[in-house]
Structure 1
Amino acid sequence: MKNKLFVVSALCAATFFSAQIDLRNTRFGITGGGTYSRVSNAHNPSGPIYSGFGGVLALIPVDNNDQFYIQPGIEYLGAGETGKDKDLKGAVGYDAVYANNYISVPLYFKGYFSEAESEFFGLAGPKFNFLINQNVKNAPLRYTEEGDPETGINGKAASFNFGVGLGIGFSYKRMLEVTGRYDIGLTNTYKGLMNEQTNDPNVSKKKSEQVLSVGLSYIFQ
């Protein structure tokens, strides 16, 4: 994983240093929308959680044609999972909620498909998620070695989550933009779950948090 982080960081640095960054023409904006999130190989049963995101962004030109940009941002991001597996209704843990709330720092490279004012665009880049808190509800009881019941988070979320985001959207006059994004975590969201005593064959696999989102952004002139 350290090698992956090094490679992605090196690519980001190379992009910055090779680009013709024009900070004087930086524009700022606000963004927000809804999220659909799951965590692979985590709790069993496992289902999606619906939440949202919101924050601010900057649009920094990297060419003279109003077509390519670097778009950093700071967002609140709601993610995680629930126990709502449609195939396991009524199972122990079906009503559980594992809500992970982050301060997310995306760093996208953004390209419009042409120089037109109203145009489609694509974006891609790393995301750095810092856990604010983890809200757990209705988690199944765990038991001590002596057989006494205890309530537990059943997997503490990692304080830092690194991932990669991809997206596509449409811009109206380079001011009002709608964007669909897919973020996949490259780090282990629930490392503690790998030590759980369970018959689940996925317990030893990495717990990757994945987020689909649709949002609206307004970029000030």
Structure 2
Amino acid sequence: MQISKRLLIAMICLTSLSSHIYSQIRIGVKGNLQFTNVTDVHEFSETRNFAPALGIIAQIPFNDANNNFFFQPEILYSWQGEKNGDVINIEYFQDYVNLPLMLKYYFADFLFSSKKVCNCKGAANHEFFLEAGPQLGFLVKQKNKDSDDLYYGGVSKFDFSFGLGAGIIFRRKLELSARYNYGLTDAYKNYPRQNSVSNLAFSVSYLFGTSSGAIK
């Protein structure tokens, strides 16, 4: 009987904790304009300019006591690749489903003094942030796949990279940011020279719901 009571209490506590954690998770949408290329593969390498990436993000706080430190997983459909910019100018474009797994920290009042201190209207509604973390990429589509396979050994189905970013958020809702990802694995595994994907992205994100750290 005592064991049943303890199990019941434990289940209630776990359910309450899970519900609380779930209530703190915020979901958002994200769009990128990005520059991508692959190092040291195509002879006349040209960056793919302003290709988009679109997806959803989640923001999960590490604890209630610190509302500045978050884990942010993302799912992005990303248009990447580059051009072989010789006379023929072949487009070697690849589409990826990318899964960034970012750690994010908000510096409250780091760039903007507190509203009460400087008496500046809306100043406390802005926060600077830094982010860093790995990214998993899964190839889902290729343009000019036959030429890529024939001359360059074909693109790997999996990409692993590391990203660093920074930005500013308004009222813990609207974010403007920049992030650079550098590939840690070869994009073309059968190519004789080491090569990797690089990606510089400029992003706009919007988070739904209300963070306990937001200015209301």
Smaller-chain TM-score bracket: 0.7 to 0.9
What are the ranges of 5 or more consecutive residues in structure 2 without an aligned counterpart? 1-19, 110-123, 210-216
User: Which stretches of structure 1, 4 residues or more, deviate above 4 A after TM superposition?
Assistant: 137-140
TM-score normalized by structure 2?
0.74
Helix, strand or coil at the partner of 1:24? helix
Deviation at 1:81, TM superposition (A): 1.2
In the alignment, what sits opposite 2:77? Answer: 76
Superposition deviation, residue 193 in structure 1: 2.4
CA deviations over 1:101-132 (Å, ceiling 9, x no partner) = 10000000000112654211010000000000
Aligned to 2:29: 30
Q: How many residues align?
A: 174
**2:120 aligned with 1:119, yes or no?**
no
Structure having the higher Rg: 2
The residue number in structure 1 matching 2:157 is: 159
Q: How many angstroms does 1:152 deviate by?
A: 3.6
> Partner of 1:15 in structure 2?
none
Q: Decide which moves more: 108-117 or 182-191.
A: 108-117
Asked if 1:219 corresponds to 2:201, the answer is: no
**1:202-217 mapped onto 2 (5 Å cutoff):** 205-217=193-205
CA distance in 2, matches of 1:34, 1:179: 11
CA RMSD of aligned residues (A): 2.2
Amino acid at match of 2:173: M
Render the CA deviation track for 1:168-207: whole Å, top value 9, x for unaligned.
011010000011010000001012222xxxxxxxxxx211
Percent identity, aligned pairs only, is: 33
Question: 8 Å contact 2:169–2:175 — kept in the other structure?
Answer: yes
Q: Hey, what does 2:98 align to over in structure 1?
A: 104
Q: Is contact 2:145-2:154 (8 Å) kept?
A: no
SS at match of 1:192: coil
What are the residue-to-residue correspondences of 1:2-151 with 2, within 5 Å?
22-50=21-49, 51-63=51-63, 64-84=65-85, 90=87, 93=88, 95-114=89-108, 117-136=125-144
| Superposed counterparts of 1:156-195, under 5 Å | 156-194=154-192
> Which structure carries more helix by proportion?
2
Residues 155, 82 of structure 1: CA spacing in aligned structure 2 closer, same or farther, 3 A cutoff? farther
* Unaligned ranges ≥5, structure 1: 1-20, 141-150, 195-204
- What is the aligned partner in structure 1 of residue 11 from structure 2? none
**Contact residue 22 and residue 62 of structure 1 kept, 8 A:** no
TM-score normalised over the length of structure 1 = 0.73
- The structural deviation recorded for 1:154 is 3.4
For the residues of structure 2 that align with 1:82 and 1:138, how far apart are their CA atoms?
Answer: 15
